[in-house]
Structure 1
Amino acid sequence: MMKLSLRVITPICVRSGENASAIADYIYDPQKRAIYLIDQVKFNRWLMEQGENARFLIKDITSLVSSQQGTLVDFFNEHGLLPRDFSRAAIPVSFPNSITFGNRNLFLPTLTGGKPYIPGSSIKGAIRTALMFDYIKNQDNGGPGYGATSHLQDSRQVYTGSDIFCLPDHRSRLLPENDALRFLQVTDTIPSSLESLRVYALERKGGTTTAIPALLLGFYPGTEMTFEVNILPGFEKANIPEYWKKFFNRGEVAILRAISNYSLALLEDELNRLKKRSNKPPENQLLYNSYTRILSNTKNSIKQGGALLRVGFGKTYYFNSIGYFMSDEEKEKYKGNWKRVKLVSEFPTTRWMIRTPDNQCLPAGWSLVQEKRI
């Protein structure tokens, strides 16, 4: 078992699927440039303490929510309430004034007991992609332009990676018990505090139209959490590919090294793409500068065995697939399987980014993972 620290490098948000509503869940204070997340238990207790007025107040709140004609700000102002008295946390807004806040919903991170964390399943998904990359590169002597074609059976089927990790049974079925990744256990991170969050605006740039930014609560750079990676016993005798038996025999440190090699290779590829299109859109140059800073600031940690890992929002095609190993000719062959791809040499044409208050552009979702020494 290996205990790891995860330090947030650029804002991370692994969505819970739930939103915070300006009508009922939070209040935005434009003077303080912060939101107050309302403690519903505390607020409901106050309502119940209002005696005969309680039912009228509840009626006001119900009318407000159902009509969607106002927000909690209106209710609090009308009744002389202070948001801080009913708040779970005051969370600063971290985007430029040029982006209007409005009364939009906020995407919430995954929470447990009211505290944010990164699920082990999300981290394991990112690790899985890194291990796919490791297999193709080492097993097939892969490099840009070759190494992946043999895994793509025909133009009707997009390669998913299942056959890398799983051996079929005698009827050619891929069964869960034959999946090598069942021997890889990744825990959730230790929950952080609500104060480790900021309100970010996630923008999609590079297309012909500019989409309205999505507002979300994400971990602030510098936040540190811990989690564990464990290779479970029994893989030696399991019906899994021999490649992974040998790989797991090297221990958890091999996983960390695979993550590092994967991230650095694709970062270099992404930097080359951004450099070629540094002003299309102009934000590409800002992204290029951010990636350069990330590599410079983490260089020593990576030399000492750490690895850059991307999770949550902000991943693009080149961080989710084996596209790195395919030539433009190979991509053209399978282009019909990818929606909205018109020119493979220019894919991706859009990128997700987070705009900082000083108008820098950050690629979302990056962290530095290192073994935690006891």
Structure 2
Amino acid sequence: MRQTLASHTIKLTTLSPLHIGAGDEYILSPYSDYVQRGDSLIYIDTKKLQKSIQGDKALVDAFVNGIRQFENNRSTFVLEDFISGQLGMEIDDFAAHVVKIEGDCKKAHIHRFISTAGKPFIPGSSLKGAIRTAVLVDWLLNRKEGELEMNKIRAAVNNNDTKKAKEALENINPEQACFGSIEYDVFRHLRISDSVFIDASNLMVGGMKRVTLPSEKKKKQQQSKIPQWSEVICPSVETTFSLSMITPLETTGFDFLDHQSVSQLFSIVNQVSGISCRRELAMLKSAQGFSVFADFYKKLEKHVTSLKPNEAIIRLGGGKTWFDNSIGLSIDSNEFGPVKLFQKYLDLLLGIESSPFPTTRSAIVKNDVPVYPLGWVKLTLLKN
């Protein structure tokens, strides 16, 4: 069989704030990297700032000693005061660009969005990983081969010998059973590029908090006291990326790969996203303080069910739950068994005995109200 390459351009539209972290080493400091003015952050050209201080020992000492001054475990150093007082200049003299911020970050560190030369983009690896998880969940729920793997997991969980049950679960590899070993992985026939660069003006900084769902033990909603401030891509921002499929030399058992069909792949993705939405709505149904958050999912679930064949909705980046990153949606299903069997699976695999699970959600919070979940995007196949 002669191999052919079918390439497609996919438009990506953010439906909720999206954060894909650049890594722990890429963090903005309030002592050198930004100044907040109202609802804006002024990013500082640090090279220009460094150049203005360099070579002047008194200025270097003033800067270093200023950062080292603490009161009640917080630095009293104010970058804007240093620039106006010690340098005799204005913040605008060092401004690189301005980003909108929701709320007061109170001189917190800010996690950056992944970028190249300051230009944000969505990595192809993030897209491919999310699609791969959706295909695996669908395979476990809807394919005979997947049913056999589910039977193995079910049998392991039902073993009354805890030690043997754990060992059996650790030896089961549904991902390899689905896609094949590393050297023969069928997903090598699917290639996804990084997205086109996104203009930095589409970034905002938002405060993400871990918000606890009320339970029998904790009747009220609780939030982490300190938000994690992060750069996010705003909702309704568009970019594009390339999705390519290579004709396999032998049939893979996956129609979307064997026939190079994006619509069939999107159908799988949408089924799994629909399951995820319905699960979230069930979990949020009686959770106080989550009405705005739940409204987002109500609209999203309707959106998923009304998509055209050339459209898909999927979740990317930070803020996803365990279910979005694992086979959890397959195990927490009627096909797997009763709720108690799922809870036993969680206890064996993760050491989690309580319900609901997970007990928290990452959310963009405004005025202590969870407003947005993170990472939901829409994909649209464009005509070549």
Distance 1:306 1:166 in 2: 24
Deviation digits for residues 324-361 of structure 1 (CA, Å, limit 9, x no counterpart): 233323323322344462225x2222111112469561
Letter in 2 for 1:321: S
Contact 1:203-1:352 within 8 A present in 2 as well: yes
Other structure's SS at 1:155 match:
helix
Other structure's SS at 2:267 match:
helix
2:282 is matched with: 272
Match for residue 85 of structure 1 among 76, 87, 93:
93
Post-superposition shift, 1:371?
0.9
Distance 1:266 1:44 in 2: 48
Q: Please, which moves more after superposition, 313-322 or 354-363?
A: 354-363
Distance 1:166 1:270 in 2: 28
Distance 2:353 2:28 in 1: 36
Structure 2 vs 1, CA of residues 126 and 37 (structure 1 numbering), >3 Å: closer, same or farther?
Answer: same
1:179 is matched with: 185
- The alignment's C-alpha RMSD in Å is 2.8
Does 2:258 align with 1:249? yes
Deviation digits for residues 304-330 of structure 1 (CA, Å, limit 9, x no counterpart): 531111101221122222222333233
2:72 is matched with: none
Match for residue 75 of structure 1 among 71, 75, 82:
82
1:336 is matched with: 347
Distance 1:322 1:298 in 2: 20
Q: Provide structure 1 residue ranges, at least 5 long, that are not aligned to the other structure.
A: 168-173
Contact 2:311-2:380 within 8 A present in 1 as well: yes
Aligned residues between the structures: 344
Match for residue 175 of structure 2 among 139, 142, 162:
162
* Residue pairs, 1:43-82, within 5 angstroms: 43-47=49-53, 54-65=56-67, 69-78=76-85, 79-82=87-90
Distance 2:67 2:190 in 1: 45
Post-superposition shift, 1:181?
1.8
1:307 is matched with: 312
Other structure's SS at 1:341 match:
coil
Structure 2 vs 1, CA of residues 140 and 87 (structure 1 numbering), >3 Å: closer, same or farther?
Answer: farther
Letter in 2 for 1:162: E
Distance 1:297 1:247 in 2: 23
1:171 is matched with: none
Using the aligned pairs only, state the percent identity: 23
Structure 2 vs 1, CA of residues 333 and 340 (structure 1 numbering), >3 Å: closer, same or farther?
Answer: closer
1:261 is matched with: 271
Distance 2:47 2:33 in 1: 12
Post-superposition shift, 1:58?
3.1
Deviation digits for residues 184-204 of structure 1 (CA, Å, limit 9, x no counterpart): 211111111221111111111
Letter in 2 for 1:24: S
Post-superposition shift, 1:110?
0.4
Deviation digits for residues 150-170 of structure 1 (CA, Å, limit 9, x no counterpart): 356543335554323443xxx
Contact 1:23-1:64 within 8 A present in 2 as well: no
Structure 2 vs 1, CA of residues 251 and 25 (structure 1 numbering), >3 Å: closer, same or farther?
Answer: same
1:170 is matched with: none
Contact 1:147-1:325 within 8 A present in 2 as well: no
Contact 2:205-2:229 within 8 A present in 1 as well: yes
* Residue pairs, 1:219-298, within 5 angstroms: 219-233=233-247, 235-237=248-250, 242-244=252-254, 246-253=255-262, 254-275=264-285, 277-279=286-288, 282-283=289-290, 285-296=291-302
Q: TM-score, normalised by structure 2?
A: 0.80
2:30 is matched with: 22
Deviation digits for residues 124-153 of structure 1 (CA, Å, limit 9, x no counterpart): 11111111022112214989xx97343565
Structure 2 vs 1, CA of residues 317 and 297 (structure 1 numbering), >3 Å: closer, same or farther?
Answer: same
Post-superposition shift, 1:260?
1.5
Contact 1:137-1:147 within 8 A present in 2 as well: no
Distance 1:350 1:189 in 2: 30
Structure 2 vs 1, CA of residues 76 and 161 (structure 1 numbering), >3 Å: closer, same or farther?
Answer: farther
Distance 1:299 1:334 in 2: 30
Distance 1:106 1:343 in 2: 33
Post-superposition shift, 1:286?
2.4
Q: TM-score, normalised by structure 1?
A: 0.82
Structure 2 vs 1, CA of residues 35 and 12 (structure 1 numbering), >3 Å: closer, same or farther?
Answer: same
Distance 2:304 2:52 in 1: 48
Distance 2:144 2:166 in 1: 21
Q: Provide structure 2 residue ranges, at least 5 long, that are not aligned to the other structure.
A: 1-6, 70-74, 157-164, 332-336
Structure 2 vs 1, CA of residues 85 and 108 (structure 1 numbering), >3 Å: closer, same or farther?
Answer: same
Distance 2:246 2:361 in 1: 37
* Residue pairs, 1:27-38, within 5 angstroms: 27-29=35-37, 32-38=38-44
Contact 2:105-2:207 within 8 A present in 1 as well: no
